[in-house]
Amino acid sequence: MARLFLAVFPPADVIERLDEVERPEVEGVRWTKREQWHITLRFLGEAEAEDVDRSLRGFRGSAASVRLGPVSRRLGARVLVLPAAGLGELAAEVRTLTADIGQPPDKRDFTGHLTLARARKRIPATVVGLPFEAEFLATELWLVDSELHPDGARYTQLSHWPLEVAS
């Protein structure tokens, strides 16, 4: 079994702009890297990729307009994120289709976000409120394998499903 999640990834132009966000050196804060930037729609935990593929066979979700920002904020005490609006319906659909795979779906409302940094103790106020705004069209849903390492998670994209763009 693998540690899996379903996500959308920002396009290259948004990644380039995210690379320009200020990342001050702050003790106890680890900034995420461009290969880690995604928006998780459903964390599955320990699960079999084949079960997810089977559950989403024939999936025809709709592309979603995603809005990142306008500023960074804390999610809990130890995570710095950019809010990501526009993915609630897609996340709900994915949650329903994969409800019996991996850990039970989160009962809380979906909170779309892209993680910028994690802290050992607490994200300091000095990095909350970093400005960043972008919009993009999410056109693919990805199944991702997450391997935890001391320097941060490493992700491998396993499967993907195209999202239909309205004409």
112 domain-assigned: yes
- Tokens read off for 49: 């990729």
74 domain-assigned: yes
Which tens digit of pLDDT belongs to each residue from 9-34?
Answer: 999 999 999 999 989 999 999 999 99
Query: Per-residue confidence at 150, pLDDT binned at 50, 70, 90?
Result: confident
118 domain-assigned: yes
- Tokens read off for 43: 């964390």
CATH number, position 82 = 3.90.1140.10
Which tens digit of pLDDT belongs to each residue from 106-130?
Answer: 888 899 999 999 999 999 999 999 9
30 domain-assigned: yes
Alpha carbon distance 95, 110 (integer Å): 10
- Total domains in the fold of the chain: 1
Percent over 70 (pLDDT), the chain: 99
Query: Per-residue confidence at 152, pLDDT binned at 50, 70, 90?
Result: confident
Angstrom CA distances, 30 to 98, 117, 121, 156, stand at 31, 5, 11, 20
- Tokens read off for 124: 């300091």
CB-hemisphere CA count at 13 Å for 79?
A: 8
What is the number of residues in the chain?
167
56 domain-assigned: yes
Q: Residue 150 belongs to what domain range?
A: 2-162
135 domain-assigned: yes
32 domain-assigned: yes
**Of 10, 76, 73, 80, nearest in space to 39 by CA:** 10
167 domain-assigned: no
